[in-house]
Amino acid sequence: MPNATLTKTGLTAGRYEGLLNCSGTLPVIEAVHHDKVIGQAEIVEMEGHPGHYLVGFDLPLAMICDGVQTVQLRSAASGEVLDRITILTGEPLEDDIRAEVEFLREELDLLKRAFRRHCVETGAD
C-alpha cells in the first residue's frame, strides 16, 4: 500500500470518520483492539477526487469500558497502522491521573528546593 495516509476528521456518537489519501491499490482497513480484529472500516471514494476516500468505522459498545482503550486502524495486507482511536474513561483513570499529578508535584517541589539551594550556594538571586 504505497503512499497511504489516514487523517481523522471526527469522532461523533461512536463513529470514527477520516480522510484516506492513497495512490495505488485501495487498502482494506481493519480495526484492532487488544490484538483482535473487531471490524472493518467503510471506505467510499470521493467524487471528483481520485485517490481520496472517506473512511468510517462505528466503535462497538462492548469495547467501551473503564480505563484506556485503543483501537488501531491498520492495513489488513501490510499491518501498517494508519491511525489510532484512544478512549479514556472511568474511575480507574481518575485514580491514575491523580497519582500522576501527585508525582509531578513532588518532582516540582524537589526541583524548587534544588534550585533554591543552588541559588544560595552560588549567591545568585
pLDDT tens digits, one per residue of 5-56: 999 999 999 999 999 999 888 889 999 999 899 999 999 999 988 889 999 9
Give me the pLDDT at residue 2, please: 56
CATH number of the domain at 68, please: 2.60.40
Q: Quote the mean pLDDT of the chain.
A: 88
Q: Which of 58, 59, 47, 46 is nearest to 20 (CA)?
A: 46
| Same domain for 104 and 71 | no
| Same domain for 85 and 41 | yes
| Same domain for 122 and 80 | no
Task: Give the HSE-up count for residue 79: Cα atoms under 13 Å, Cβ half-sphere.
Answer: 2
Distances in Å between the Cα of 97 and the Cα atoms of 34, 86, 107, 114 are 22, 16, 15, 26
| Structural domain span for residue 103 | 90-125
| Same domain for 104 and 75 | no
- Strands (E) across 42-125 are located at 42-45, 52-58, 67-75, 81-89
Give me the pLDDT at residue 103, please: 80
Task: Report how far residue 6's alpha carbon sits from residue 2's, in angstroms, rounded to the nearest whole number.
Answer: 13
